[in-house]
Amino acid sequence: MSDEEVQLEARLEAQDVFEPPESFVEQANVADPAIYDEFEDEWPGAWERAAELLDWDSEWDQVLDDSDAPFYEWFTDGELNASHNCLDRHLDERGEEAAIEWIGELGEKRTYSYAQLHREVNEFAAALRELGVEEDDVVTMYMPMIPELPVAMLACARIGAPHSVVFAGFSADALATRMESADSEFLVTCDGYYRRGDPLPHKEKANEGLEDVGHEVETVVVDRLDDDYDHPMKEGEHDYDELVAAHEGAEVDPVTRDAEDMLFLMYTSGTTGQPKGVKHTTGGYLSYAAWTSHAVLDVKPDDTYWCSADIGWITGHSYIVYGPLALGTTTVMYEGTPDYPEKDRLWEIVEEYDVTQLYTAPTAIRAFMKWGKEYPDSHDLSSLRLLGTVGEPINPRAWKWYYKHIGDEDCPVVDTWWQTETGGMMLTTLPAIGEMKPGSAGPPLPGVSADVVDVGGDPVGAGEAGYLVVNRPWPGMLRTLYNNDERFIDEYWREYSNPDRDEWVYFPEDGAKLDEDGYITVLGRVDDVLNVSGHRLGTMEIESAIVGVEGVAEAAVVGGKHDIKGEAVYAYVITEDGTEENEALRERIIEGVEDAIGPIARPESVIFTPELPKTRSGKIMRRLLEDIANGEELGDTSTLRNPDVVSDIQSKVGGD
Ligand code: WT7
């Protein structure tokens, strides 16, 4: 490094607060700080400005109906269609503009103008109808990042059939569980996709999953790999291209949906082994996705906006598909990995497409840091105007690296905290208004009310850690867990609400800290949920996969700190015959987890132990196992029934 660079690094390191760049403020969608007061003064009516970003078939009666809290309803009796809002209404002015810029891993490119996307969505919607999909039928999609995925989602939205997208990296078992839980009789999947240049079969996994679904399923298969892979078709399955061709030029009127009608289901991990089917609605969710894309990501129709998440997660639903397309912008979709063929792949794309906003995850930023600044440095990234991060806490060093080496100190960085359940962003600075503090997401959005409280629900003071809570409903909130209102209340509303006084407080199960300016630093989950590379995994799900492996008697899974992934899976395992080293079993355990959930849940470390540290009442001391995984000092172990086991386990992890 030159002297100048050394000085620059030192200056950045010492700086804790960053002002929004003037050039950004001048052109921002939302730049007047009065927005916060306006929302307070007019709450909940202020949320109309989110709904007004959309076209409605009929106007709502009431912005918020809280008469049956916590089953809140938003924009009641309003009617609209999401596919119309993401496509039809843009045709006159933006029909020839790009809606989706898709880049395949091998370097293929496909541009879908709004007119083309509209056409294919109509054709596929007609095809789905012919296959028997009716309004309110749940259609499952098990697909990677190929354009047919958003086409299928929008086709479902057009005919009022909720979709349930299952991340392509999830296993066959995970697919089957979700299809069964949603009683889904339709599946759209594909033959495979490319990973690091090689074809990766996917259809076998889908087939395997379908074998475990106890009802008939109509399946549509997209042929992504052509001749590179001869995929196993089952009898009666439909080829996507043939279906679309058979409905060439078809037009399907968008079905008018009630604001509260379900737009989609998204399964996510919780404390128990059973994934939760989060229900999102047409009016509230879409308004919220559009409003946050407008206010936080500063999306404008002429932008080329890129969120590098996968559509299989909520981030991709809200900020690759629904938010950006509702606003009529160009959304970039990239099929592959960031380091293929080279570690500058993302920067090559930013340069080639003149990307204006980039929204990615801390785990990716930490990998870019490790690879080195020469990769972004070798590209012209000056088209970028705003940077965003999501999925897990970002450490200040990674934040500053992103700000400097990608944003050239000229782009605001929004650190957005939210969840599958919240539908869209909740805590973040507004990019033209709030000063940025690396490591701290920021204040709640205008109209959102959040606080940090102690176990008893009382607010903790500035600087103290506690539990994050949300005190008021918001339009993008989940409405319930599919077919399980009781679990919905138990999981999110039991802890801090006061039903007798009709006071409802949402508990996201995150720990947090508040500072004197009202900025919130999210510290991470306080339940048994791990965050591996920004992906949410339940420890119980992993444990039950491990216990299902022959030869395993008991297992405990915790998260250990990881430089790139944030957290990594540590599995402590007791074998049936008491053996403590068994390579073959270790491999079977890893395989078992991959089969039950997917490679993202693969244990970083499997530690065989004769016992697990337990309290006298027989509870596994997970905290202790976490400290051991992290090589940290252990606190008091005297309450353990079996304190001796601790040093034994410690020596094994240390020697790993
Ligand atoms: C959990 C939600 C939101 C879409 C991606 C993940 C963690 C998310 C942040 C952030 C600190 C964050 C929380 C949250 N999280 N964003 N900016 N700072 N933590 O959605 O799979 O539902 O996971 O991700 O722990 O509860 P998800």
Q: What is the pLDDT of residues 117-161, one digit of tens each?
A: 999 999 999 999 999 999 999 999 999 999 999 999 999 999 999
Distances (CA, A) of 588 to 202, 206, 592, 652: 22, 22, 6, 20
Report the percentage of the chain scoring pLDDT > 90: 87
How far is ligand 1, taken at its centre, from the CA of residue 120, in Å? 33
- Give SS3 for 122: helix
Residue nearest atom 23 in ligand 1 by C-alpha distance: 419
Distance 252 CA to ligand 1 centre (A): 37
**pLDDT band of 375, cuts 50, 70, 90:** very high
Is 510 near ligand 1, meaning CB less than 6 Å away? yes
CA of 277 to the centre of ligand 1 (A): 17
State if residue 524 touches ligand 1 by the CB under 6 angstroms criterion: yes
What is the CA(535)–ligand 1 centre distance, in A? 8
> Minimum mean pLDDT among 1-15, 347-361, 428-442, 548-562: which range?
1-15
Nearest CA to ligand 1 atom 6: 391
Average pLDDT, the chain: 95
CA of 534 to the centre of ligand 1 (A): 7
In this prediction, residue 266 carries a pLDDT of 98
Q: What's the order of all strands across the beta sheet hosting 163-165?
A: 238-239, 218-222, 186-190, 139-142, 163-165, 262-268, 276-281
| Global pTM value | 0.94
Distance between CA 407 and CA 368 in Å, rounded? Answer: 13
Q: What atom in ligand 1 is closest to the CA of residue 428?
A: 17
* Distance, CA of 260 to CA of 36 (rounded, Å): 27
Dump pLDDT digits (tens) for 158-203. Answer: 999 999 999 999 999 999 999 999 999 999 999 999 999 999 999 9
CA distances from 339 to 118, 312, 347, 586 (A): 33, 20, 11, 29
Q: Which atom of ligand 1 lies nearest, measured to the CA of 420?
A: 22
| pLDDT for the residue 23 | 97
Q: Ligand 1: does its nearest atom lie under 6 Å from the Cβ of 402?
A: no
Mean predicted confidence (pLDDT) in 434-439 = 97
Q: Does 418 contact ligand 1 (Cβ within 6 A)? A: yes
Residue 531 CA, ligand 1 centroid: distance in Å: 8
Which of 232-246, 290-304, 406-420 is predicted least confidently? 232-246
Higher pLDDT, 228 or 219: 219
**If you measure from the C-alpha of residue 390 to the centroid of ligand 1, how many angstroms do you get, rounded to a whole number?**
7
Q: Is the pLDDT of residue 204 over 60?
A: yes
CB of 331 shorter than 6 A to ligand 1: no
Average pLDDT in the 86-112 region? Answer: 97
Q: Is the CB of 390 under 6 A from ligand 1?
A: yes
Q: How confident is the model at residue 205 (pLDDT cuts 50, 70, 90)?
A: very high
* Closest residue by CA, ligand 1 atom 11: 393
Residue 126 Cα to ligand 1 middle (Å): 37
Contacts of 392 (CB under 8 A, 6+ apart): 361, 362, 363, 524, 531, 534, 566, 567
Distances (CA, A) of 117 to 75, 148, 154: 28, 10, 9
The owner of tokens 């989602």 is 153
Compute, in angstroms, the gap from residue 583 CA to the centroid of ligand 1: 35
| Arithmetic mean of pLDDT, 406-412 | 98
Residue nearest to atom 10 of ligand 1 (CA): 417
Concatenate the DSSP letters of all residues of 63-100 into one string: EEE-TTTTS-EEEET-EE-HHHHHTGGGHHHHTTSEEE
Section 491-511 average pLDDT: 96
ipTM of the prediction: 0.99
- The ligand 1 atom nearest the CA atom of 524: 25
Note whether 293 and 359 are within 8 A (CB).
no
Cα of 600 from ligand 1 centre, angstroms: 16
pLDDT at 656: 44
Residue 355: CB within 6 Å of ligand 1? no
Q: Regarding predicted confidence, which is higher, 316 or 528?
A: 316
394 CA closest ligand 1 atom index: 18
Ligand 1 centre distance from Cα of residue 420 (Å)? 8
Task: Give the residue, out of 293, 426, 468, 531, with the most ligand 1 atoms within 8 A of its beta carbon, to mutate for a pocket test.
Answer: 531
The finding on whether 420 has its CB within 6 A of some atom of ligand 1 is: yes
pLDDT(655) > 60:
no
Instruction: Verify whether ligand 1 is closer than 6 Å to residue 507 (CB atom).
Output: no
Look up residue 614 and give its two tokens.
Answer: 């337990």
